[in-house]
Amino acid sequence: MFHNNNCHYRVHGGDPEPSIALAKAHHRIFNGRGEDDHRPNYLIMVTKSMRNEEAILTEANRLKVHGTRVLGVGK
């Protein structure tokens, strides 16, 4: 579950697409809304899939370039 002030995002079932989840987090959560410039942004992603690893790394690097620290946990 993602949490951003009043927003909750929960996904059930299906085959996860981590690169899309990272892109949505970048756009919806870390895109300047409610950010505190004095505290770092962190994203911890728990997934069972490494499908399309190049796209995952691209999206994770995009978050890192904009100041978000990304940690992935999976199988």
Summarize pLDDT for 6-53 with one digit per residue, the tens. 455 555 666 678 999 999 999 888 876 555 667 788 999 998 888 889
SS3 state at 63: helix
Contact 65, 36 (CB under 8 A): no
Q: When comparing pLDDT for 58 and 15, which is higher?
A: 58
Q: How far apart are CA 30 and CA 67, in angstroms?
A: 9
pLDDT (average), residues 45-68: 90
Whether residue 57 has pLDDT greater than 50? yes
H/E stretch holding 52 reads none
Q: How far apart are CA 33 and CA 52, in angstroms?
A: 29
The pLDDT assigned to 2 comes to: 47
